[in-house]
A and B are shown apart, each in its own frame.
Chain A
């Protein structure tokens, strides 16, 4: 079976132009989507569903930086063991705790907006580093540490979302 990158005709790299991914995804879906085969025979309808399912999965995985990175590391034989390996550098953890304290004391939309903008910057910086590690130096070990950090930031993003929600309620 083809891997997600091959399936979408993309080079297996962390750095990825979202527009290019979107275009590849749509080009392929527009040919194999079950809507193309609604009037076809059973075997074609089934094949189309299986392909469209795979292409959707590939797109979903490659679209998310964390998922894309994890997938690339796995392709390169690095077992990242994210679930069991939770040890993080102390300074990073202190930073994370500060961020969470800031979030807890945020009482209005403006301060949440600030936190969100700040998070976006941090993510960009981290993603650039990951790209350098994976695509440039092929240093998958270090990349795996950075990806774990990125997961922390993603989780923090979700917490910000929940805080917006709490303000609305």
Chain B
């Protein structure tokens, strides 16, 4: 298909504003009479609240108000389940514990808010917070998942009598039977940690109640503005139309910014309404570590059964998943782990069981990759171990077990985060692996380069893995596309943007249909007054779900344009063309009208219209997939380990991905590169280090190591394979998490290879000291 804009690396339309500091971020909102908020947070990870004395803080000059849980009266309530329990999975057990906006009676993690200080400025608020006297009675703390699961002597939530947050088992085929028939059964335990989202821009929210218009305006960098508006209206007893949520430009979301019903979005609107003043809260960096959800560790007990030729017969995986002190985001993360464990491979029998545990730590919610990385890690690690044991080449073992291109739709038999069976819609897995192996020069490296480097004493190794990425899940998104009398095109959708380039790639989709330049398409995301149906930005679904809705709306506007022009020119629709901002008769280009003029004609100010005709050139459309589209890819890297310091340098990096139709290759590559950077962090640098008392020990960017340019490969070579998804008209699949998912597995395989396979890595992240320790065992 010949396309004018789709598939082109159009430069990002939003960048001039961003790069010249003209974009509005939440902290750029300044309103007259605005007050500033700081939260006093618990130092203890588990304690009973005996008393909170705010009297001194209230006396502090410049302090307007100080609130504790009791001051909110009946408004205080435990938040809802933002993601519902997995009732679709038979026999699943789930103990729901929503997040209280501010601690009452008990604190369950270090960082839980205890009091809110409202003051004329942030400095005063912070100083006054230091004058609040909190009497907490420390309770024993439980942070170890296995211990928390077995031992009920320390209970996070006494009323459920256990620390079990959920227990879900799923099986495809029969693993036990498969294992009994296998030539080889390999068992391993893995401990895998992930980390914080570490967005460059921390969270923030401004709430402004206007008594005269009786309306609440909220500026925030949330990923789910519409659910946020709906809960805010419900909490305050307002109509949804009285609440306007605007998501300003946002410096990275990565998952945790999807959370609602937290201290900021619950308490600030109430305070603003009570004081009749605008209220601002901007999270500081330490708060971002302590008070923003993260993704942390899982412990896996994994078994793989194979024939001696290397054919996978079955896989079993029983794992513990730390959900922190509450579970408002349901089971999205562990369900993603379950649906991504079999990965790109044919696994006829699969047993998976998750034991989700409450601990005295921050709540876990998805962080880019969202549980997929753990599943990918254990499968790829098990294949590495199996290949060594069976003396089969690592790549060959993978190749012989890949799902083949003629097997789609491929049913996995496992229910995922969207509560329907995970079905792989399309792909070409052998091709991504072939291409990655070819691009990195696998054979040559193994046979020629590596022996040479080894003889020079260099510890250089190669890693090759594959991955799948479930993307673009439901329920739905929508969009409204309008051609204005100005000739410009307006697009509004409910999802919010955090830097993905939506203003450009969505514009390209519309430009393709309406024959205008992408620069003439104005995209608005995440403004509830512009469009207020939809779920939000998560699960790599922006392009696939909202992008498809935009496409469908644009197609309908195109139909309206053609219908109207056909009447105007008395020419059949198929003889018309839309190009360069005009619609015209293809064979008589002089017979033409600009889209702006046509739009004005469709919106007469006097006279009559035909019955049933909708005004203007506007259409709204919705799209909800039956199940998510699955992206896939293969990664290869060559890295060198410094034999003295055990520091690692990635020398070459190749990623071949299949995200179906690509709207803007430049943006997609940028997404992948950003994801890879997070993956490198997860593999070797980043970790939320909690001590046995539930204290986060590295709540600063000096101690929590996010990879810098120095830790990145000098160049990323990215290859594209395109298998359009049959699930949506443009053939789209998501790609936002592709770069993150496979990196730890690939990185660790390459580390082992670099160190002559004398070590076996079953812990992630590694670090120079962990690697050193392993080699000394």
A interacts with B: no
Q: Which residues of B contact A (CB under 8 A)?
A: none
Q: Which residues of A contact B (CB under 8 A)?
A: none
